[in-house]
Amino acid sequence: MVAWAPAEESLRLLLRLLLLLLTGGPAAAGKMKVVEEPNSFGLNNPFLPPSNRLQPKATPSPISGPVHLFRLAGKCFGYVESMYKYEFCPFYNVTQHEQTFRWNAYSGILGIWNEWEIENNTFVGMWMRDGDSCETKNRETKVLLVCGKNNRLARVSEPSTCVYSLTFETPLVCHPHSLLVYPALPEALQRKWDEVEQLLYEELITEQGYKKRLRELLEEGTILKSTRAKRGKDSQLQHLEFESVEKCNKEYKRLSNDLQKLSDLLTQHGIAYETVLIGNSDDNRITQSLGIKESDLSTISKADQHLRGDAGTRYNAL
């Protein structure tokens, strides 16, 4: 996570270089005006009345997870560190307020309640996302829930730029079973979970398929936010993996058939091609070379001439 910031830094440098090249290189640099992006979008703007600040970008997700934690909803917990007061309102939001007597003190949203972070079938933290803009993304906060004597915010940190980490202590999570996901689900979803476990046990689905089904089940219970809209790119990548061996075999057969059809088509038209078996040594390489017929070549050159001829007549007409 820490490596994130330098990576973005170098990306920005690259973009700037590209821009420099596109605008005509160093010669044009003297005329180029570099417009620096403001680091906050109106939040620090002293000309905005206070009522225009703290505009949430999203509405909080429904309250979900372990039922005994629902009583935290509607309460807020503060934590003051140096110049800032942080406020955590479970199932609602995390905000940050500058502690100063300036009339235009900074206030911002660090995240709106989004979804649970789940590890090993255990609720470990609450993701608060879609906070105020920060460079190219939105601020977000993970609130870790740990056992403690009283309800209180115990720590605040920023592990990477605009990603905050809060530690919330509460006696409500001290029991070893208090954060297990399975007992927190409605019975219908527990039955579905049982079925998924059975499928994995009987090896009718892969580990990948198991994870996907569990995720869908948790999305149905609104414990996880649906990924379809938000993580379009990720889900595209996921589709490259198969949920079951059966599906993989089917896809392999389909691709083999397509390949065969294409090879036949090339052979039919007498066009040279070579099939390289990836991963095999040169000795095993199958090479099929068929000479391209003279007639093919003349067809190609005739088409070429025809195009040039067309252009010629058009130019003459002008």
Ligand X SMILES: *[C@@H]1O[C@H](CO)[C@@H](O)[C@H](O)[C@H]1NC(C)=O
The residues of the shown chain that bind ligand X, judged by CB under 6 A, are 54, 56, 74, 76, 89, 92-93, 95, 109, 120
| Closest residue to bound ligand X by CB | 92
CB of 13 to ligand X, least distance (A): 35
Assigned token pair, 115: 């979804």
List, in order, residues 6 or more apart from 59 with CB less than 8 Å away.
112
CB of 290 to ligand X, least distance (A): 58
CB of 35 to ligand X, least distance (A): 30
CB nearer ligand X, residue 97 or residue 225: 97
Q: Bridge partners of 127?
A: 115, 142
CB of 92 to ligand X, least distance (A): 3
Strand ranges (E), the chain: 77-81, 84-89, 93-98, 107-119, 122-129, 133-134, 137-138, 140-147, 152-160, 163-170
List, in order, residues 6 or more apart from 61 with CB less than 8 Å away.
91, 113, 114, 115, 222, 225
CB nearer ligand X, residue 76 or residue 266: 76
CB nearer ligand X, residue 56 or residue 148: 56
Q: Bridge partners of 112?
A: 93, 129
| CB half-sphere exposure, 151, CA atoms < 13 A | 13
Closest listed residue to residue 117, CA positions, set 260, 21, 218: 218
CB nearer ligand X, residue 45 or residue 235: 45
CB nearer ligand X, residue 144 or residue 266: 144
CB nearer ligand X, residue 53 or residue 142: 53
Could you give the CA distance from residue 46 to residue 51 in angstroms, rounded to a whole number?
12
CB nearer ligand X, residue 109 or residue 214: 109
CB of 136 to ligand X, least distance (A): 22
CB of 73 to ligand X, least distance (A): 8
Long-range contacts of 6-10 (CB under 8 A, 24+ apart): 8/135, 8/136, 8/161
CB nearer ligand X, residue 106 or residue 242: 106
Q: Strands 137-138 and 107-119, how do they pair?
A: unpaired
List, in order, residues 6 or more apart from 121 with CB less than 8 Å away.
180, 181, 182
CB of 285 to ligand X, least distance (A): 46
CB nearer ligand X, residue 76 or residue 144: 76
List, in order, residues 6 or more apart from 105 with CB less than 8 Å away.
97, 98, 99
Could you give the CA distance from residue 42 to residue 106 in angstroms, rounded to a whole number?
10
CB of 137 to ligand X, least distance (A): 19
CB of 76 to ligand X, least distance (A): 6
